[in-house]
Chains A and B, each alone.
Chain A
Amino acid sequence: MKEKLSELKETVARLLKDRTVDFFIAYQAGHSQVEPIPFFLTTAEHVENLFLNNFCAHNLSKYLLDYLAGDEVVGVLAKGCDLRALKRLLTDHRVERGRVFVVGLPCIGIYDRKKVQEVYPAGLVEVVEEGEEVILRGETGDKRVPRKEYLLPRCLTCPDHNPEFYDLLLGEKVANGPLAEEDYSDVRALEEWAPGERRRYWTRQFERCLRCYACRNVCPACNCRVCCFDVAEPRWLGKGTSLDEQEMFHFTRAMHVAGRCTGCGECERVCPVNIPLMKLNKKLAKDIGALFHVPQAEIPTEVEPLGQFRLGDPDEFN
């Protein structure tokens, strides 16, 4: 991905100079190689600080919600998964297509910072891809590891290595095709447990929850104008953090994105206390696939699965 940096710089500089976009959202270097951070460019001079590598995980299109009130045209760099998130915002009529200029970025996988940091807590210089393996090149030497094991979970089953649509594509399209089939094995494993064990498992997870709302704020499906957790009346959720409020939060969040979740897993990635939020999202996605025949790969659908029905839906309530 790094090799596309110079093309990105040229492109963004041009877009800003000829006023195709009013500003552009991409990445800049963060505290270390594994932590690139979002970057808002307002002039062509900023392109010198652009950064690109295989750790650019953030979905930048969520930031479009911050600019609804104005009339700027916002340029945004989007990988396949980010584009799906943008499609979510477009489908929900939250963002106007005409106000977004999409620079598509073909992508064969983003590495999971947490997993890489277990091998390289500090001093990683770069990641070099070699077929099925990657070389983690650091200040204290190289480490060769299987590529698959260090990718973000979403990248393993990614159906869109190339963004579905764009105004401009960086470089050539890459060969598509997920590295693994989504078999929901982690969800199935949990379903096998006894109810009491599952209860203890989720209790432990929810107990750790800080209610920092990072999972909600990063989620492209959480795009309501006013979130039900932010209103005092009706009081869907108390301010207090008891175990029941934490569970209510997670249950509600999961239901509100049911059939709308694009499966990007950003919620889980940003959670500071490792709550396996995707195990909730995937459970719903799996059931929606099985019950209503809407596979995850088709979401966002024009009408969301819970906003419609079929006369022949399964019925077990007689």
Chain B
Amino acid sequence: MSVERAGTGVSTAGWEPKIIGFCCNWCSYAGADLAGTSRIPYPCNIRIIRVPCSGRVNPQFVLRAFQRGADGVLVAGCHPGDCHYSTGNYFTRRRFLLVKRLLEYLGIEPRRFQVRWISGSEGQKFADVVAEITEQVKALGPAKMDKMRDVM
């Protein structure tokens, strides 16, 4: 067979989870900003990637994030009805209802992938969500077992 598998000996000592957050420019990114300016502390495990709309998030981004080392992925967008482009997040909702189930079906622990609606005024919610996910992913441990062998 063409694919060879490598061992996944992983030590968790001193490990901190890496969480990728895809945040929509208009709401969730502003929410993160508000959390910052309001000096609400939240775990620094999240790495934010700003996207124009949560509808921009291709399901492939999520799987790739896991494959390249993320322990958790968050997709955050405006609340339904609040989308800057009117309807973008409604499509997001349909798409990620499926993606979430498909990833789980493929055996990826469901708590590692989450979608949340966070508005520009919800700085506290942003901080809470990040804290919650970080805690959950920490409890799950590194996603190394989930990760697949890479060509690199």
Contacts and interface: CB of A to CB of B under 8 A. Distances in A.
Q: In the complex they form, do A and B come into direct contact, defined as C-beta atoms under 8 angstroms apart?
A: yes
Interface residues of B, number: 39
A12 B109 CA distance: 55
Interface string B89-120: 01101111111011011111110000111000
B3 interface: yes
Contacts of B87: 309
A48 interface: no
A259 to B, nearest CB: 8
A226 B90 CA distance: 27
A143 interface: no
A202 B59 contact: no
A254 B64 contact: no
Interface residues of A, number: 50
B2 interface: yes
Contact of A251 (B59, B104, B109, B150): B59
A144 interface: no
Given A199-B107, A318-B116, A318-B117, A244 B98 contact: no
B64 A311 contact: no
A241 B148 CA distance: 12
B135 interface: no
A283 B102 contact: yes
B81 to A, nearest CB: 8
Given A244-B67, A246-B3, A283 B101 contact: yes
A165 interface: no
B1 interface: yes
A237 B8 CA distance: 23
Interface string B119-152: 0000000000000000000000000011111110
A316 B102 contact: no
B98 A202 contact: no
B11 interface: no
B60 interface: yes
Interface stretch (A99-107, A128-136, A189-197): A189-197
Interface of B: 1-3, 5, 59-60, 63-64, 67, 80, 87, 90-91, 93-99, 101-102, 104-110, 115-117, 145-151
19 contacts: A190-B105, A195-B104, A197-B107, A199-B146, A203-B107, A207-B5, A208-B1, A242-B3, A251-B102, A254-B102, A258-B98, A287-B101, A291-B94, A291-B98, A306-B95, A311-B80, A313-B90, A317-B116, A318-B116
Leading 6 A-B pairs by shortest Cβ distance? A199-B107, A198-B107, A309-B90, A244-B148, A240-B151, A243-B148
